[in-house]
Amino acid sequence: EILEIDPVSRVCIAEPGVTFVDLVAAALPYGLVPFVVPELRTITIGGAISGCSLESMSFRYGGFHDSCLEYEVITSDGEVLTCTPENEHKLIFHMVHGAFGTLGILSKLKFKLIPAKPFVRLSYETYRTAGDYHAAIAERSGQAEVDFIDGIIHGPDRYVLSVGRFVDHAPYTSRYDGMTAYYETTAKRTEDYFTTPEYFFRYDRGVTNVRPKSRLGRLLLGRFVRSTEILKIGEKIAWALPRENPTLTVDVFIPFSRFNDFMEWYWREFGPFPLWCVPYRPAQRYHWLSDEWYAGLKDEMLVDLAVYGFKGRDGRNYYRMLEGKLQELNGVKTFISFNYYSEEEFWRICHKENHFAVKARTDRRNLFRDLYTKTCLASRGLD
């Protein structure tokens, strides 16, 4: 539950099972919202920490973790630790981010909120080349009046950038929860208005290709089946899918300067399949990423490109193809689905020393498994 919202200090204290839809509903009457609100209603604040959630305010604020001030963490021995960026447990505080539950159990979070308005106005800018799109992201992300930036890349010659601002009033508001998924409208409209909660969860009925595909399916199920449920169904039947050719559900983070290189490769290898694009500016150096990985990073901003629901062909393993390209470009991917990294490759990306230093304090008996085992082996049924 939500334990406290202080509208003066703009701080919230809550338990990890609180969903963002409930958090937004509780905070917005105070004129406040979280710094980052992930796109699906049922994502919890604890899950956002463990899985590195982001959204369209990430071009300015990074991830949800970057707004956090304090965690309460329960070790595998049952000890309760209060962790902050300054106290004796500061490494634990930083390493819980992206740990997928391998370093302890989050039991309470304290985090900052920011001022918000009742409505959001979106304008859609369409670009014909990756280069022009890249330049537009660079320009818009530096404009103080912009509150939100994301986009849908519909094809090799249709890059749509969504630029949003909080507003006090709206001439109308849209809600996409039936026959039409929000992402489809970005190719047809030049502007749109939402209530602030509807804006935050605009992808809940369809994140790119994750939705009922037929018109009949959308008619019968569109109002009842959210992206969350479809993704959960996919997880439940993952054991029955071919291990070397699974359907792709993944976010990849590309250094901003390598965006054009990645898109050229993507169209050649994947073909015209839509991508969700979210510029991401880390608010700090993340302790879970290795020194070797950071040594190859020259950019202050990354671009998150989400591939949801891509079906491979020709027997190729597209997860593995992405992993290879990311190593070439010094990118990184989320570990939410299938991962094929070797152990050596994995620990060149993730900070092995930090992970096991924290594990020695919070999970000495390895009850939660280590990060490589949980994300790379267990996801493929190898552990």
pLDDT band at 160 (very low <50, low <70, confident <90, very high): very high
Q: pLDDT digits over 273-289, tens only?
A: 999 999 999 999 999 99
pLDDT at 377: 87
| Tens of pLDDT, residues 168-204 | 999 999 999 767 889 999 999 999 999 999 999 999 8
Confidence check: pLDDT of 227 > 50? no
The per-residue pLDDT for 206 is: 64
Question: How much is the pLDDT for 98?
Answer: 94
**What's the confidence (pLDDT) of residue 178?**
66
Q: How does pLDDT run across 19-67, given as a tens digit for each residue?
A: 999 999 999 999 999 999 998 999 999 999 999 999 999 999 999 999 9
> Can you tell me the mean pLDDT for 138-150?
98
pLDDT for 245 = 52
Average pLDDT of the chain is 90
pLDDT at 337 (0 to 100): 82
| Whole-number Å distance between alpha carbons of 185 and 192 | 9
pLDDT digits (tens, 9 = 90+) for 59-100: 999 999 999 999 999 999 999 999 999 999 999 999 999 999
What is the percent of the chain where pLDDT is above 90?
Answer: 81
Residues 164 and 149: beta-carbon distance below 8 Å: yes
Q: Which domains does the chain have, with CATH numbers?
A: 2-115 (3.30.465.10)
Tell which residue, 149, 171, 147, 151, has the closest CA to residue 159: 151
Is 310 a residue whose pLDDT tops 50?
Answer: yes
